Every structure is written in C-alpha cells, then in structure tokens.
C-alpha cells in the first residue's frame, strides 16, 4: 500500500484519500501495529503529494460505551479520553507537514520492512512560511515557486522512517545536497513504539504507546542511527538557513540547491 501512487502519472486528476485506516484483527481497538501500517502508507502519500492533495483518517471519535467500529483515533466516555497509537502517529505527520518533498532511497538488507519519506520546511516563528512545490515528471526536478518575497529559507529537514520488522535496524542517514548544514543543536528524534506490536492505549494506561522525543546529539549530514523494532522514528534536523530557489536531482540521487 505504501507504493500505491508511485507509478501514478502526475498529469492526471488529483486524489483525495478519504477515510483510510487499518481495521479487523490487526487493528484491535487501536494497536501499535495498525499505526505503523498507516504510517508506512502515509510516507507513500507524502512522497506523492503532487498527486495526493488530501487525506483523512476515519473514524475520528468513538464513545467507549457505544462502539460501532474499530479502531478510532480518539476514545472518550463521560469524563475521560485518550488517543490511540494511530492518533499519535497522525500528530507526528501533522506537526511535520512539509513544504518541499525530497526523493529518498533505502539501501539495506532490511529494506522490505522499512518505509521512509523526507521533507524540508521552515518555522518562521508563530506560523509556517510555506512555498508551493511541484514535481515535473519528465525533468525530475522539484521547482520551488516562491510567493510574495521571492525568498525563503530552509530551517528544518525531516526524515521519517517506519520499521515494521521485528528486529532493530542500524542505518546511515545521508542528508547531503540540501544547501545547508545540519546543526546538532536544535535537532531532535521522536520515536513511537512499544514492547509489543499489539499494545494499545486505554483509560487505565492512556500513554502506553505515545511518541517519546529527545535531542539528537549526533545529528549531522552523515549519521548512523538505530531504529527500534516496530517503530516510527522521526528525525527533525535543524539546518543552517539557506536561500533556496531550485532543487535539481543529480545522478547520485541527491538533491543540489541553486540560488
């Protein structure tokens, strides 16, 4: 499912992926396994955001005393509520919504159990400064169309990797070609995982499966990291500001910026 739109022509109509969710036995009432499968699916939508313009998870709310469908994102009763792992997975993608999507390649003997996406974005203080990006199918370029000021700055690069295998995986992340250096200060890593892939949150344990954020002390253009089994890991890399107009794909698969 994560490669559903990889071969879809960007010349055709745009897509709205409505009411997606993992359900039946693998989902339980909202399991970690379901959230990881959905995260892998979302990395595919993110990579193809020139085709998929909108997506929505459903159902969103459920009264614990009147369940008609499993799973749901937020469970409540008359005085309590909690988010399922799928809810917390959604917050990671929402808070890291990107302005520019970059191609990404996985070279690993575990590549069959990994899914990933990479974006860059800027936090301009109280709000996001956004630019429009369009992928040209033939030239394989990502052209950044600037609005108003004709200038923008990269301040963050985000790499999200889903490891839905049962083993920890050590990988090397190469974040070169972005036209800005990676700063360890301000870089963080957030991990959504748990001891059992079928773990769920509940009223008694509402934070059994929630994202855990920490500083990424070894953040750099080249860094080795360890991915926990059954996990969604979000690497939020702080970048030195750099003026950006065009990102062109080179033969080595990296992106080079031109200003």
**Backbone phi, psi, residue 208, to 5°:** -65, -40
24 is a domain residue: yes
Q: What pLDDT shows up at residue 99? A: 59
Asked if 191 and 235 touch (Cβ cutoff 8 Å), the reply is no
Per the document, the length of the chain is 259
CATH number at residue 190: 2.60.40.1180
Number of domains, the chain: 1
Supply angle C-alpha 62, 64, 65, rounded to 5: 115
The verdict on residue 6 lying in a domain is no
Output the pLDDT for position 218.
92
Strands 114-121 and 100-102 turn out to be antiparallel
Query: Cα–Cα distance between 221 and 150 in angstroms, integer?
Result: 27
Q: What whole-number distance in Å separates Cα of residue 259 and Cα of residue 248?
A: 11
In a domain, 10, yes or no: no
Say if 19 falls within a structural domain: yes
* Domain region containing 180: 15-258
Supply the DSSP string of the chain, one letter for each residue. Answer: -TTTTTT--TTS--EEEEEE---GGGTTTTBHHHHHHHHHHHHHHHHTTTTEEEEEES--EEETTS--SS--SEEE-SS-EEE-HHHHHHHHHHHT--SEEE-----STTGGGEEEEEEEE-B-SSSB---EEEEETTTTEEEEE--SSS--B--EEEEEEEE-SSS-EEEEEE--SSSSPEEEEEEEEEEE--SSTT-B--SSSTTSS--EEEE-TT-SSEEEEEEPSSEEEEEEEEE---B-SEEEE-TTS-EEEE-
pLDDT for res 12: 84
Other C-beta atoms closer than 10 Å to the C-beta of 136 total 11
What is the structure's pLDDT at 207? 97
Q: pLDDT tens track of the chain, all 259 residues?
A: 556 777 777 788 888 988 899 988 889 999 999 999 999 998 888 888 778 888 899 899 999 999 988 899 999 999 999 999 999 999 988 765 555 666 666 665 555 667 777 666 555 443 333 333 333 333 233 333 333 333 344 477 888 889 988 989 888 888 777 767 888 888 999 999 999 999 999 999 999 999 999 999 999 888 889 999 999 999 988 887 644 434 344 444 443 434 3
Query: Does residue 69 fall inside a structural domain?
Result: yes
Query: Is residue 219 in a domain?
Result: yes
Prediction pTM value: 0.76
Is 5 inside any structural domain? no
Residues 13 and 29: their CA atoms lie apart, in Å, by 35
Specify if 192 maps to a domain: yes
């Amino acid at each position: 499912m994560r490669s559903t739109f990889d071969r879809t022509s960007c010349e055709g109509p745009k897509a709205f992926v409505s009411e997606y969710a993992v359900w039946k036995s693998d989902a339980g009432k909202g399991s970690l396994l379901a959230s990881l499968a959905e995260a892998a699916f979302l990395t595919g939508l993110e990579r193809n955001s020139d085709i998929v313009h909108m997506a929505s998870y459903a159902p969103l709310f459920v009264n614990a005393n009147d369940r008609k469908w499993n799973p749901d994102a937020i469970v409540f009763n008359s005085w309590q509520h909690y988010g399922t792992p799928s809810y917390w997975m959604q917050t990671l993608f929402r808070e890291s919504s990107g302005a520019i999507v970059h191609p990404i390649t996985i070279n690993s003997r575990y590549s069959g159990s990994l899914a990933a996406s990479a974006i860059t974005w800027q936090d301009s203080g109280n709000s996001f400064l956004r630019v429009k990006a369009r992928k040209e199918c033939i030239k394989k370029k990502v052209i950044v169309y600037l609005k108003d000021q004709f200038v923008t700055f990269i301040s963050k690069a985000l790499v999200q990797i889903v490891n839905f295998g049962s083993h920890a995986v050590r990988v090397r992340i190469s974040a070169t070609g972005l036209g800005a250096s990676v700063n360890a200060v301000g870089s963080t890593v957030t991990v959504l995982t748990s001891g059992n892939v079928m773990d769920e949150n509940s009223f008694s344990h509402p934070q059994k499966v929630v994202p855990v954020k920490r500083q990424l002390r070894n953040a750099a253009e080249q860094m080795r990291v360890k991915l926990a089994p059954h996990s969604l890991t979000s690497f939020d890399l702080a970048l030195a500001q750099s003026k950006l107009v065009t990102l062109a794909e080179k033969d080595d698969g990296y992106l080079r910026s031109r200003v």
